[in-house]
Amino acid sequence: MENSAQKFDAQVLSRISTLKMTAMNLVEGLLTGQHRSRHKGASVEFAEYKDYSPGDEIRHIDWKVVGKTDKYHVKQFEQSTNLKCTILLDASGSMGYQSPLKDQHSKMGYACTLVAALAYLLLKQFDAVGLTLFNDKVVEHIPPRSKASHYQHILHGLTNIPPQGTTRIDDVLRGLAERLPGRSMLILVSDFFVQNQDLQKSLKLLCSRGLEVILFHVLHPDEIHLPFEGDIVFESLEDDPTLGLDPKDIREQYQKTIHDHINSFKKDCNGLGVDYVFLDTSEPLDQALSYYLLKRKSLIKL
């Protein structure tokens, strides 16, 4: 367990510990937390008035309003709740890409740090965090817990990832949609190198179940810029056929394709109200995450 903890950059964790993760939408939670609940509850924050009906607590009747209007109105308060978040980490072969050019973060390492950071953040807010690793199927599932010690489980789960197999996000999401608690948060970390899969449909399904979905699209700069030179035989990390070519010949087209790929995701996500975060592994993770959380905070409806 110590080994797994050491694997993650402590500096990163410390930098982001001050940040708070707040859910944009109302989430359902069992524990009282800092998130607004769909239910009216016992928080001090006023939400609205409601006509009194028998059974309502009398202490919530606003007597000032009764004095003015001679009608019984019950004061309702915002219900604070904690968040139940499931992080889905793509553990397919493509996530194991490591650049042959220079010693940079591996994509998987970057993604794991991201997951660890998010988990730490959420747990610190007393939110429940779970972790699901998948490739073409779910390979490991750690159910959401809000205990601080649960972080160790998450980290343990992250250390045991040998990236392998093909990506079948579509199937995995459809399977999980039934099992995930409604009105919770789903964070999906992947490179989204998927072929012939209707990801939009699956996301729609999740959204319809009231889940807040955040997509972290993690790509290595090599995968964006294709900086290789010379005659190269590209061997797939998944199950694509081997391809020999001179990258110079297709670089422009590839860059266009990958940007189209990213943009189409962005567009789909916007349409579904899904948060889409693009992460380039060359960009320091703390910066990227800070930027995203600050941006998210600024958009919270108060």
Write down the least CB distance from residue 165 to another protein, Å: 13
Q: Of the two residues 41 and 96, which places its CB atom closer to another protein in the complex?
A: 96
Under rule CB under 8 A, residue 245 binds another protein: yes
Output 10-16 pairs: Cβ under 8 A, ≥24 positions apart: 11/286, 12/113, 12/117, 12/285, 12/286, 13/116, 13/117, 13/120, 15/286, 15/290, 16/117, 16/120, 16/121, 16/286, 16/289, 16/290, 16/293
Which position among 2, 103, 241, 301 is part of the footprint of another protein (CB under 8 A)?
241
Please, which residue, 22 or 190, has the CB nearer to another protein?
Answer: 190
Q: Does 250 bind another protein (CB under 8 A)?
A: yes
Asked whether position 233 contacts another protein by CB under 8 A, the answer is yes
Tokens of 209: 């179940």
Residue appearing with tokens 């750690």: 142
Residues 61-100 that bind another protein (CB under 8 A): 93-97, 100
Place of tokens 């941006």: 295
Nearer to another protein by Cβ, of 57 and 231: the residue is 231
DSSP state of 96: G
Residues 162, 168, 170, CA angle at the centre, nearest 5°?
140
Q: Which of 220, 274, 276, 281 binds another protein (CB under 8 A)?
A: 220
217 counts as binding another protein under rule CB under 8 A: no
Q: Which residue has the tokens 């510990």?
A: 17
Characterize the bridge pairing of strands 35-51 and 73-81: antiparallel
CB of 298 to another protein, least distance (A): 33
227 binds another protein (CB under 8 A): no
Q: Which is nearer to another protein, 90 or 275 (CB)?
A: 90
249 touches another protein (CB under 8 A) = yes
Residue 187 as a binder of another protein (CB under 8 A): the answer is no
Site membership for another protein, residue 198 (CB under 8 A): no
Q: How far apart are CA 63 and CA 42, in angstroms?
A: 18
Closest approach, Cβ 81 to another protein, in A, equals 39
Binding-site member from 234, 280, 282, 290 for another protein (CB under 8 A): 234
Site string for another protein, 252-271 (x = CB under 8 A): xxx-xxx--x----------
By DSSP bridging, strand 128-134 and strand 138-145 are: antiparallel
Q: DSSP letters along 155-193, please?
A: HHHHHT----S---HHHHHHHHHHHSPTT-EEEEEE---
Give 52 or 228: the residue with its C-beta nearer to another protein: 228
- Binding flag, residue 193, another protein (CB under 8 A): yes
| Sequence-distant (≥ 6) Cβ neighbours of residue 202 within 8 angstroms | 169, 170, 173, 174, 177
Residues lying near another protein in the complex (CB under 8 A) are found at: 93-97, 100, 107, 191, 193, 195, 220, 222-223, 226, 228, 230-238, 240-246, 249-250, 252-254, 256-258, 261
